[in-house]
Amino acid sequence: MELTYNQLKKRDVINVVDGKCLGRIIDMTFRFPQGIITGITVEGRKTFCLCRAFNKSNLFIPDRNIVKIGGDVILVNLKCGEVCS
């Protein structure tokens, strides 16, 4: 399957563990010169924080956690407590 970045960034990233929508892809990481995708970065959701009114942190998801790239969504497997950022 061949996809462009523009096609991928329109798809929601869903965690299969809890069904939550993590957001959409804002960046991809490649290994050069092999051209292998090593992970994706998803724009974090706004969360309330005492130090700042709203905090937005991006989430890096390694390629080993990507389960399936479908026609409408990208499924990832992030277990509770797993640090990927």
How far apart, in whole angstroms, are the C-alpha atoms of residue 61 and residue 26?
12
- pLDDT category of residue 2 using cuts at 50, 70 and 90: confident
Query: CA 74 to CA 49: how far, in whole Å?
Result: 28
Q: Ranked by mean pLDDT, which of 6-15, 42-51, 54-63 comes out on top?
A: 6-15
Is the peptide bond preceding residue 33 cis, with omega within 30 degrees of 0? yes
Does the structure show a pLDDT above 80 at 63?
yes
